A and B are shown apart, each in its own frame.
Chain A
């Protein structure tokens, strides 16, 4: 009897501690969201998405139309570059190259790349693209983000595909399927939701990055689709406007911070929901 009540107590304790920890995380999130929202509330309106920033010293702060579009553009191009290379590279590591020494090396280098501080990637791309091309430009920004997306996607893809049991591949081979069809129609299919989640989380991560863009695509207050020149982004706008001495720009930075936070949060929630969905389906 004694040991049973003991176990019940320990069980209760473990639950209490984990609830407490979860609450701390949740409370911090609410405080951040509340803080960001209350500071930026004046500027969060429809004009935020339709106007360019107002000049300093005005009461009105204008909007960040160009930065929204720029952020989207940079992230999209980064995903278009980084995701296919990551998925195909991960596929190679999990399938064709699973026994090769070469794969181990690639895999390790990739993991190493994933842990490089993003500002180092920013300066690296500055050296190999911005300088040679003669100035800040969108391609450099997208490349820097792609370098962050790549190793994360590669690792997730390799892990998810390695989790698919070999018996499933063998069953397809036994029907006379060639290897590429086994990969595409069986292994990818079985690991699709996991890979998709990983890609989404990787994109969510770069959507909030400032440092790699600061040295590459830089920033300005205009609306542009020209990737050859500097491309504005929300994150760099926040960085620059928040540090400015003008009250209306600081407000704009808060508004942008709120929008970025919510967007990243939504991407993450979608990613998590996908994992949950997958676990439920078994």
Chain B
């Protein structure tokens, strides 16, 4: 099985506050890796290392490595714009841009220099179809994206991310604000997307982790407790803490 990313002895600090301690785990290509653990354990912090979101704020510091194609993406010399366009991110709350549905999806493409209107139309439609949103919005591509429902907005954000054809998509509790039906749609979508991209998903929902992920990592106070195939984590965990956490008797 191929590793797309390899996290190696990763430490992360918000100023003097250590938020990740010696995390080592692989991210397998074309698989869904779930990050679980009690609130404040560092799941979001780890996720935001992959696209170097932490670099937006002063005093944040990494040590250790995240290897991708043999290169350490935490290196100072890495081109963040290139890196980020290969690492899509979907946040907890939907983040539609204040513009039309079409322009939302075309945003990343235009950043990449795609100007041809026919190409844009084609790619926007493909992204919307791939995110199972096309039928719902095809008649209102020119309407403001803020008018969509929460679930539709979240799929719009996924479509916007897909349009730039990233290698990885990072999901941070992306269904926690949605109703069961919208959640279901997005879960189906994530499983479908595995064919083309690698997914890392933070979730507090154990059933969700069990349903959709191939691998699961349990974190606790900034450290990795256990990483394994999801089935193993849920049926025969090696650590007592994992057993307690996945069965809901902890955290």
Question: Is B108 at the interface (CB under 8 A from chain A)?
Answer: yes
When the two chains form the complex, which single residue of B56, B93, B108 contacts A175, counting CB atoms closer than 8 Å?
Answer: B108
Number of A residues with CB within 8 Å of any CB on chain B: 19
How many cross-chain pairs have Cβ atoms below 8 Å apart between A and B? 63
- Chain B 82-136 residues near chain A, CB threshold 8 A: 82-85, 87-89, 91, 93, 95, 97-99, 107-108, 111-112
Chain B residues closer than 8 Å to A168, beta-carbon distance: 95, 97-98
Contact B84 A176 (CB under 8 A): yes
Question: Is B68 at the interface (CB under 8 A from chain A)?
Answer: no
When the two chains form the complex, which single residue of B58, B84, B93, B99 contacts A174, counting CB atoms closer than 8 Å?
Answer: B84
Contact A171 B146 (CB under 8 A): no
Q: Which of A148-156, A185-193, A235-243 contacts B (4 or more CB under 8 A)?
A: A185-193
- In the complex with contacts A171-B91, A171-B97, A177-B111 CB distance below 8 A: yes
Contact A185 B89 (CB under 8 A): no
A172–B84 CA distance with the chains assembled, in angstroms: 10
Cβ proximity bits A85-120 to B, threshold 8 Å, 1 near / 0 not: 000000000000001000000000000000000000
Contact A175 B160 (CB under 8 A): yes
Question: Is A181 at the interface (CB under 8 A from chain B)?
Answer: yes
A170–B112 CA distance with the chains assembled, in angstroms: 17
Give the shortest distance, in Å, between B56 (CB) and chain A (any CB): 6
Contact A167 B108 (CB under 8 A): no
Cβ proximity bits A61-92 to B, threshold 8 Å, 1 near / 0 not: 00000000000000000000000000000000
Question: Is B10 at the interface (CB under 8 A from chain A)?
Answer: no
- In the complex with contacts A174-B88, A175-B164, A177-B111, A167-B93 CB distance below 8 A: yes
Chain B residues near A (Cβ < 8 Å): 51, 53, 56, 58, 80-85, 87-89, 91, 93, 95, 97-99, 107-108, 111-112, 146, 157, 160-161, 164
- Excluding A170-B56, A174-B51, A177-B107, 8 further A-B contacts by CB distance (< 8 Å) are A167-B91, A167-B93, A168-B98, A171-B97, A173-B53, A176-B85, A189-B99, A190-B98
